[in-house]
Amino acid sequence: MNRPALPFTSPWLLAPMEGVTEPSFRDLVLARNSPADLGGAFTEFVRVIDRPLPRHVLVRHLGDRRFGQPVGLQLMGADLAALAESARRAVEVGAPLVDLNFGCPAKGALRGCAGSAVLKDPARLEATVRAVVDALPDHPVTAKIRAGYDDAERVEDLARAAEAGGAAMLTVHCRTRAEAYQDEVDWTRLARAAAAVSIPVCGNGGVDTHADLERLRRETGCRLAMVGRAACGNPWIFRGVAVRAADAARFLVDYAETLRSLGASTKGAAGRVKQLLVHWTAGGLTGGGAEGRAPWLREADPARLLARLVEAAGDGRDPALNPVLPAAARPDREALASGTASPARQEPARA
């Protein structure tokens, strides 16, 4: 089967995370890691119910900026015709690839027979991938699964189903749906998936440090590795550089200011910052560990939390660690959504 080449610029990828990897956070991370360090990212999942998604929704998820790294649009749905047409539209408005979510454990997804519900039925997974692959002859379609629904017995079958459906890459989150986000991970499941197929497998789950990225590849045979929550706590994890507490605080201030500039209230912005602080490890800002984070998380006054971060960031900015974001490069969103403008160009494929 002729699978379109993957556009990733390095083997390390930022995971799709609902409520986190929307453009405000994602752009800040993409800007802080060169294409040689961070190979690509994904939107949070976008749910397709029974009709194709409007283009303006897809445009919003892709955001207004373009970086050297590709950002795949992740879709989740059980209506194959609506899913395939949504994927076609995603590419039309500029998505370089489409990823399919077969891991979401949320009740809404399960009721709609989407997300991790599909892990019970490899044939359905294969048919879902194929429906989207057939709709996108010139763009890679990737799939993201958990290692299984209740157990990981059939991870090989699931990997083979994704490959047979035409996926250009398979990401495996090594926890099952039943294991949710438990701390312990079993990377032998990743090795089993990687050995079962010849398409590239991206291993995910429990990558906590920069060194874990290469370790995951070495121990599992996965060609790529994906980071979720550890990137929320250390946006420089793909680069592996050490930053100071002031640099770490500057990131969080930049994040809050980006959210505020897009209309978030002080309370809303502080809430989103706290979502990162739960995982924060960079720069010793929170002293590492849960005890160090507690005083930040206990701060009930949103304005005071942001003021403390501004104080911790100090006056300076190291532009190598916290570059100011480039201007939005996209043409008029409305014209794009209505099909009267062409999408901003992506960097050419490198790997």
Ligand X SMILES: Cc1cc2nc3c(=O)[nH]c(=O)nc-3n(C[C@H](O)[C@H](O)[C@H](O)COP(=O)(O)O)c2cc1C
Instruction: Give catalytic residues, as residue numbers.
Output: 104
Q: How far is the CB of 43 from ligand X (least distance, A)?
A: 8
Residue number with CB closer to ligand X (144 or 250): 144
Dist. CA 114–CA 49, nearest whole Å: 9
Contact 104, 76 (CB under 8 A): yes
Cα angle 221, 222, 225; round to 5 = 140
Q: Which helix (H) or strand (E) holds 165?
A: helix 155-165
Residue number with CB closer to ligand X (7 or 206): 206
Residue number with CB closer to ligand X (274 or 317): 274
Dist. CA 2–CA 13, nearest whole Å: 23
- Give the residue nearest to ligand X (CB): 228
Q: How far is the CB of 42 from ligand X (least distance, A)?
A: 7
**Residues sharing a CB contact under 8 Å with residue 291, sequence separation 6 or more, in sequence order:** none
Residue number with CB closer to ligand X (20 or 277): 20
Two tokens, residue 71: 């950002």
Cα angle 187, 351, 34; round to 5 = 85
Q: Counting every residue, how long is the chain?
A: 351
DSSP letter string, 166-213: T-SEEEEESS-TTTTT-S---THHHHHHHHH-SS-EEEES---SHHHH
Q: How far is the CB of 134 from ligand X (least distance, A)?
A: 22
* 68: phi then psi, degrees, rounded to nearest 5: -65, -20
Q: How far is the CB of 345 from ligand X (least distance, A)?
A: 26
Q: How far is the CB of 124 from ligand X (least distance, A)?
A: 17
Binding residues (CB under 6 A) for ligand X: these are 15-20, 44-45, 74, 101, 103, 144, 173, 204-207, 227-230
Residue number with CB closer to ligand X (268 or 331): 268
